[in-house]
């Protein structure tokens, strides 16, 4: 890409329209002073929007119009020729400026389309043309580099390195970090509120848990009460049981008396038994025997009935078997009938075939006789036939070898043709395989390219990952260094504060504080913190009470006083928290100048509030003495200057000794100390996060390394496959060549064999004709009648023999079938005889069943008759026993009398048992109460041994009252506390997530800072290298760029250090004008070489140089013009002589600049 044309309309010194063609290489614009040659450069800046009007040497836009008119229009068009890499063609940029008095409008066009300046700069940036890129170097730019501050000079490197982009990313990350911190603070506030709520709920939860515990204890006491009640009832039951045992002894006496009566009753029973014996002797035994006999007969009758029923069942089963037998006999009858019919048919067939066979045998014998007669009459014909056959055999013996040779040739031709075809097919396959191999080779090449791409991509990813690891390690080292410095500074500050704190207090207080007495909290000065602005006033207000010692209770104070006495360490004032009044009521202040109560300006733990009230009371801090005096007598007051005004009217004041010793309040932690601690915390988190990320990146790098090795192995395998395919392709090509040679030689052999085949065919022709002639004669002889008859007779004889053998075979098969049928019939007859025998057995069994049934029925009738006779005998014996039974009844009445007496005795015994029943009722009541209570639970812990039921009931009542005293109880506090804790946990997790996001953002900021430093140092090193070589070339000296703060380059500036030839090292400020110009130009060229552009425009940059230095500068421009277009405004001869072409500019009479001509180095125009 290069400048092709510049078209100017009414711009500064140029008139209506001027077109300046530009070519690649080195072009010089020259002309008299004031002719407008620098306006060409200004027009280029104007059109491309690379500078403001002031940069184009114009105070206002109207100064850009020709002759400074107040109204008018300016237009400048720049045309670029694009390279083929950029798509070819042209790029046209046009800017128009319309000015109408104080109003003006400016517009840009890109390739004829309107655009904004931002769009234009973006398009130019695509072609490496930047507003800050020193594409155009004006007269003041060289001196500007010399005069600009070192920080601005460093910002040039910043712009080249893209630091602004990193700063934008850092700023965006910081904005996002601010949002995260706002959200984090918001959640932290909610978490703090939840923690306060949890503290309140903790108390309610403790109360609820105590309430629940009391309820559980009351439940346990109820179980113990139940257990002790059960034990009491069990003791009562044991007592009643013992009373029942005593009553049983009384009842035993009654039992003994009852035994005597029982003996008498037994005697009466014996007499009754004697009477019964007599009754039995007189017939009862006989009656019993008759009844026994009758029962035996009845049992036998039942057995007979059962046997009859079993017989009926056997008859039914036998009938079923008979029916099955009849069915089988019917089936056998049908089978035997079929056998008879089949045997008759087979016998008829055998007879028929036997007759036919006899007839055929007779015909065969007749035919044999006829043939023998015919053979005797045909001997002459046979002799002629034999001669012809011998002639035929002779011709055939000559013909057959030739024919076999011809056949072998034919086979060889066929074989050779087949081999040729096979080789041609193989050649065709090889040629077809060439395409397949080419395809496979192409696929292999594609896979090879893809594998190389994957390998390159993997290696690129690996290099990128390693670069990230290097950047992370750089960030880690920088953060560790910062952390070490911050930690040292923090330790120093905290050590100073600790030393100051340790110097506080008197000997007495130091003795108490160092004694280790439990309950000593510290001095008032140690337990509170104040801001620095209020320290003096509050120390004056407290006075010596700052050294008062705060203790837990008066016992601790007494112990400390005894300690001071024993050690003679002096006196001290103690403030026991258990005796001080903690309540306070302070009126709201409305007085002018009142800052607030002293207590409100001190930070302290709320549990020490009573001690601080004791020291400060209602002291008010005022801004000045004048304002405090107006309230004298109303408050105890102290001013910011240290004056103390008592309620009594006493006023204390004067100058304060800034070096005064003694105790003082600890100042609130300085903001820088808190910021340092916060930064250290951030650094710790960042380093931890960075360590984790480094571990992940190293793992990723290891995986990428493994992937690269695998890709390398795959690449080697694919390369080997590609080489193998190449070898196969070469092998197949060699085989194809071999096959083509073989086919050519085979074709020559085939031609020779075909010639030999033709010769053999010519010799075989006459022999074949003779053979045909002999065969014709033999055929005529064989066609005679005798021969024909003889052949027919032989044929007929053979047919008859075949027919006879067929009939004999069929006859043997028919006889075998007939014999098999006889055997089957014999087996069926045997089975039928067996079934008939079984049927006869059933008939005999049926008769036997009838006889047995008749016998059973006869026995049943006999049993019925015997049972009737025995019943009659029993009735007769009953009538004979009536008198004897009357005597037995009398004896039974006597026995009943004895039993009545025994009953009276039993009545007395029952009365005693009545009392026993009452006892049993009491026992039952106790048992019932015990059953109501039920058994104690198995898992109830045993109550204490010394705990009685009454004590337990008293304890239960006391706990019940405590339970009622706790009410009302918020039982939901337990669950609400858990929910609040869960909510607090969730928010804490969110807070942790935000902290992680914050750490990531901080790490992103640090990463950007590291990359920014790296990019800056990379650009700085490159520009420094270019500067050293360029300065050496321009001045024959040496120089370099120096950073004011190499450790933190963005905190300082950039200095140009040069050592011209023959002089000591100098800084820029100590050089001459020419040396400064050469140094500045070297710096500009170094910037351009670091970020090259397609063209450069210089406006009289050689004006401060002598001839020798101009020569060097022109030589350098000439060298760089070989690859870049240069447009240089110059009046110096070396510059013009080195240029490829020159543009002359002069001022015409009309007052506008005019391009007089262009002188080219090779072409004239």
In angstroms, the first-to-last Cα distance of the chain is 24
Q: Is 786 labelled a binding residue? A: no
CA separation, residue 181 to residues 175, 526, 594, 1005 (Å):
10, 33, 36, 15
DSSP, collapsed to helix, strand or coil, labels residue 103 as strand
Instruction: Find out whether 285 is annotated in a ligand binding site.
Output: no
272 beta partners = none
Q: Is 547 annotated as a binding residue?
A: no
The annotation status of 49 as a binding-site residue, yes or no, is no
Q: Is 1122 annotated as a binding residue?
A: no
What residues does 1128 pair with on adjacent strands? 28, 1098
Q: Give the 3-state secondary structure of residue 661.
A: coil
Can you read off the two tokens belonging to residue 326? 């009849």
The token pair at 86 is 């950029």
Q: 99 — phi, psi (to 5°)?
A: -120, 130
The burial of 625, by beta-carbon neighbours within 10 Å (0-12 exposed, 13-18 middle, 19 or more buried), is given as: middle
Residue closest to 4 by CA, chosen among 79, 114, 89: 79
Contact (CB, 8 A) for 367 and 796? yes
Known binding residue 1153? Answer is no
What is the C-alpha to C-alpha distance for residues 413 and 746, in angstroms, rounded to an integer? 10
Cα angle vertex 328, ends 327, 329, to 5°? Answer: 90
935 is in an annotated binding site: no
What is the Rg, in whole angstroms, of the alpha carbon atoms belonging to the chain? 71
User: With contact defined as beta carbons under 8 Å apart, do 833 and 344 qualify?
Assistant: no
In sequence order, the β-bridge partners of residue 520 are 551
- C-alpha–C-alpha distance, residues 716 and 722, integer Å: 10
Strands 26-30 and 549-551: unpaired
Angle at 490 between CA 485 and CA 495, to 5 degrees: 130
Beta bridge partners of 1040: 1057
Q: Tell me the backbone φ, ψ of residue 88, rounded to 5 degrees.
A: 70, -175
The upper half-sphere exposure of residue 160, i.e. CA atoms within 13 Å in the direction of its Cβ, equals 28
What's the full length of the chain, in residues?
1165
C-beta separation of 1085 from 1030 below 8 A? yes
1102, 1073 Cβ separation under 8 angstroms: no
The answer to whether 546 and 665 have CB atoms below 8 angstroms apart is yes
Q: Let me know: does 526 contact 509? Beta carbons within 8 Å.
A: no
The two three-digit tokens of residue 200, written as one number: 């309140």
* Distant-in-sequence, close-in-space partners of 983: CB < 8 Å, separation ≥ 6: 194
Question: According to the annotation, is 397 in a ligand binding site?
Answer: no
Tell me the longest C-alpha to C-alpha distance in the chain: 196
Q: At what angle do helices 609-616 and 532-542 cross, to 10 degrees?
A: 70
Question: To 10 degrees, the CA torsion angle through 49, 53, 57, 63?
Answer: 120
Nearest to 1016 by CA among 174, 151, 155: 155
Q: Using DSSP bridges, classify how beta strands 1038-1043 and 666-667 pair: parallel, antiparallel or unpaired.
A: unpaired
What's the token pair of residue 136? Answer: 């155009």
- Report whether 534 contacts 621 (CB < 8 A): yes
Give the residue numbers of the binding site: 32-39
Binding-site residue set for ATP: 32-39
């Amino acid at each position: 890409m290069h400048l092709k044309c510049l078209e100017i309309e009414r711009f500064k010194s140029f008139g209506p329209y001027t077109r300046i063609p530009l070519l690649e290489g080195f072009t010089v614009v020259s002309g008299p002073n004031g002719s407008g040659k620098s306006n060409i450069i200004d027009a280029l800046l104007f059109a491309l929007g690379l500078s403001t009007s002031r940069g184009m040497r114009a105070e206002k836009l109207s100064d850009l119009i020709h002759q400074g008119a107040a109204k008018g229009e300016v237009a400048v068009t720049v045309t670029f020729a694009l390279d083929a890499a950029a798509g070819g063609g042209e790029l046209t940029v046009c800017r128009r400026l319309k000015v109408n008095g104080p109003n003006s409008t400016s517009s840009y066009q890109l390739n004829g389309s309107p655009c904004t300046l931002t769009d234009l700069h973006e398009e130019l940036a695509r072609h490496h043309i930047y507003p800050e890129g020193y594409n155009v170097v004006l007269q003041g730019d060289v001196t500007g580099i010399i005069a600009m501050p070192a920080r601005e000079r460093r910002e040039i490197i910043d712009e080249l390195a893209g630091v602004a982009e990193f700063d934008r990313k850092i700023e965006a990350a910081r904005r996002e970090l601010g949002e995260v911190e706002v959200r984090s603070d918001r959640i932290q506030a909610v978490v703090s509120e939840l923690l306060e709520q949890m503290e309140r709920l903790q108390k309610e939860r403790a109360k609820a848990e105590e309430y629940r515990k009391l309820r559980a204890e009351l439940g346990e006491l109820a179980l113990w009460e139940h257990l002790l009640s059960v034990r009491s009832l069990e003791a009562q039951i044991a007592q009643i049981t013992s009373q029942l045992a005593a009553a049983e002894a009384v009842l035993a006496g009654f039992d003994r008396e009852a035994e005597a009566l029982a003996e008498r009753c037994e005697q009466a029973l014996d007499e009754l038994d004697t009477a019964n014996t007599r009754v039995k002797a007189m017939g009862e035994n006989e009656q019993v025997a008759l009844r026994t006999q009758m029962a035996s007969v009845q049992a036998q009758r039942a057995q007979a009935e059962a046997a009859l029923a079993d017989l009926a069942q056997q008859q039914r089963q036998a009938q079923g078997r008979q029916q099955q037998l009849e069915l089988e006999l019917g089936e056998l009858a049908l089978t035997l009938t079929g056998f008879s019919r089949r045997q008759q048919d087979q016998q008829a067939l055998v007879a028929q075939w036997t007759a036919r066979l006899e007839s055929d045998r007779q015909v065969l014998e007749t035919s044999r006789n006829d043939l023998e007669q015919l053979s005797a009459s045909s001997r002459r014909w046979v002799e002629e036939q034999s001669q012809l056959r011998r002639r035929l055999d002779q011709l055939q013996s000559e013909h057959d070898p030739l024919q076999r040779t011809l056949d072998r040739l034919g086979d060889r031709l066929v074989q050779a043709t087949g081999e040729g075809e096979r080789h041609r097919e193989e050649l065709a396959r090889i040629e077809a395989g060439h395409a397949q191999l080419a395809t496979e080779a192409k696929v292999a090449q594609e896979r090879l390219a893809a594998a190389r791409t994957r390998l390159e991509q993997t290696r690129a990813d690996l290099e990128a990952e390693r670069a990230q690891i290097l950047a992370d390690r750089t960030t880690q080292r920088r953060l560790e260094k910062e952390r070490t410095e911050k930690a040292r500074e923090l330790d120093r500050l905290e050590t100073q504060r600790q030393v100051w704190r340790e110097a506080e207090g008197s000997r007495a207080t130091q003795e108490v504080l160092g004694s280790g007495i439990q309950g000593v909290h510290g001095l008032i000065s140690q337990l509170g913190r104040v801001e620095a602005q209020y320290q003096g006033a509050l120390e004056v207000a407290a006075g010596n009470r700052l050294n008062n010692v705060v203790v837990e209770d008066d016992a601790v104070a007494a112990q400390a006083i005894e300690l001071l006495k024993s050690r003679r360490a002096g006196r001290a004032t103690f403030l026991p928290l258990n005796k001080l009044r903690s309540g306070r009521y302070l009126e709201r202040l409305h007085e002018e100048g009142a800052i607030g109560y002293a207590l409100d300006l001190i930070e302290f733990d709320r549990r020490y509030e009573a001690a601080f009230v004791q020291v400060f009371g209602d002291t008010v801090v005022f801004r000045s003495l004048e304002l405090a005096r107006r309230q004298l007598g109303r408050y105890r007051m102290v001013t910011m200057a240290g004056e103390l005004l008592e309620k009594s009217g006493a006023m204390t004041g004067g100058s304060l000794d800034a070096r005064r010793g003694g105790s003082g309040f600890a100042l609130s932690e300085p903001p820088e100390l808190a910021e340092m601690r916060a930064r250290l915390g951030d650094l710790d988190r960042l380093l931890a996060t960075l360590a984790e990320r480094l571990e992940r990146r190293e793992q990723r790098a290891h995986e990428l390394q493994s992937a690269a090795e695998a890709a390398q192995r795959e690449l080697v395998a694919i390369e080997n496959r590609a080489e193998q395919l190449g070898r196969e392709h070469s092998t197949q090509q060699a085989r194809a060549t071999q096959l083509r040679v073989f086919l050519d030689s085979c074709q020559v052999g085939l031609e020779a064999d075909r010639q030999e085949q033709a010769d053999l065919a010519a010799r075989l022709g006459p022999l074949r004709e003779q053979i045909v002639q002999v065969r014709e004669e033999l055929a005529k002889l064989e066609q005679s009648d005798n021969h024909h008859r003889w052949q027919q007779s032989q044929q007929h004889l053979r047919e008859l023999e075949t027919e006879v053998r067929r009939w004999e075979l069929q006859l043997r098969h028919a006889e075998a079938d007939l014999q098999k049928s006889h055997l089957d019939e014999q087996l069926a007859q045997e089975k039928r005889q067996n079934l008939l025998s079984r049927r006869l057995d059933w008939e005999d069994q049926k008769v036997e069943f009838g006889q047995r049934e008749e016998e059973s029925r006869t026995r049943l009738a006999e049993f019925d008759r015997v049972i009737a006779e025995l019943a009659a005998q029993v009735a007769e014996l009953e009538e004979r026993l009536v008198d004897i039974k009357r005597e037995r009844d009398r004896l039974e009445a006597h026995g009943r009398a004895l039993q009545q007496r025994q009953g009276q005795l039993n009545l007395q015994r029952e009365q005693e048992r009545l009392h026993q029943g009452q006892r049993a009722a009491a026992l039952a009541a106790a048992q019932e109460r015990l059953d109501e209570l039920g058994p104690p639970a198995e898992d109830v812990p045993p109550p204490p041994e010394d705990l009685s039921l009454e004590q337990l009931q008293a304890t239960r009542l006391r706990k019940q009252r405590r339970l009622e005293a706790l009410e009302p109880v918020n039982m939901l506090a337990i669950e609400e506390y858990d929910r609040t804790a869960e909510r607090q946990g969730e928010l804490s997790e969110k807070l942790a997530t935000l902290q992680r996001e914050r750490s990531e953002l901080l790490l992103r900021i640090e990463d950007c800072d590291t990359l920014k430093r790296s990019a800056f140092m990379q650009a700085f090193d490159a520009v420094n290298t270019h500067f050293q070589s360029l300065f050496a070339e321009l001045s024959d000296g040496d120089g370099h760029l120096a950073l004011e703060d190499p450790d933190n380059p963005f905190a300082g500036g950039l200095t140009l250090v040069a050592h011209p030839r023959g002089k000591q090292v100098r800084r820029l400020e100590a050089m001459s004008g020419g040396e400064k110009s050469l140094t500045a130009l070297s710096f500009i060229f170094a910037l351009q070489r670091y970020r090259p552009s397609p063209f450069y425009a210089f406006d009289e940059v050689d004006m401060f140089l002598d001839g020798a230095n101009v020569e060097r500068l022109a030589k350098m421009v000439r060298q760089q013009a070989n690859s870049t277009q240069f447009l240089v405004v110059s009046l110096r001869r070396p510059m013009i002589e080195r240029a490829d072409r020159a543009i002359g500019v002069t001022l015409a009479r009309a007052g506008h600049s005019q391009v007089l001509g262009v002188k080219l180095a090779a072409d004239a125009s």
